Amino acid sequence: MKKYLILLMTALILAGCAPHAPSTSSGASSSTAPNQPAVPAGPALPGSALPAGPDQPEQEPDPRQAAVEDILASMTIEEKVGQIFFARCPETHAAALAAEYHLGGYLLFGRDFKDKTREQVVSDIQSYQGASAVPMLIGVDEEGGTVVRVSSNPALREARFQSPQQLYAQGGLEAILADAGEKDSLLRALGINVNFAPVADLSTDPADFIYDRTLGRDAQETSQYVAAVVEQMSADGMGSVLKHFPGYGSNVDTHTGIALDQRPLELFWEQDLLPFQAGIAAGAETGRAAVLVSHNIMAALDPDLPASLSPTVHDLLRQGLGFEGVILTDDLAMDAIGQYTADGSAAVLAVQAGNDMLVTTDFTQQIPQVLAALEDGTLDPALIDRAAARVLGWKYDLGLLS
Closest CA to 282 of 317, 328, 326, 242: 242
Closest CA to 79 of 311, 389, 395, 320: 389
Q: Which residues are CB-contacts of 96 (< 8 A; sequence separation ≥ 6)?
A: 131
Name the burial class of residue 360, with classes exposed (0-12), middle (13-18) and buried (19+) by CB atoms within 10 angstroms of its CB: buried
Closest CA to 89 of 117, 122, 116, 111: 111
Q: Which residues are CB-contacts of 88 (< 8 A; sequence separation ≥ 6)?
A: 106, 107, 109, 331, 333, 359, 360, 361, 363
Q: What is the largest CA-CA distance in the chain?
A: 65
Distance (Å, whole) CA 373 – CA 366: 11
Catalytic positions are: 255, 330
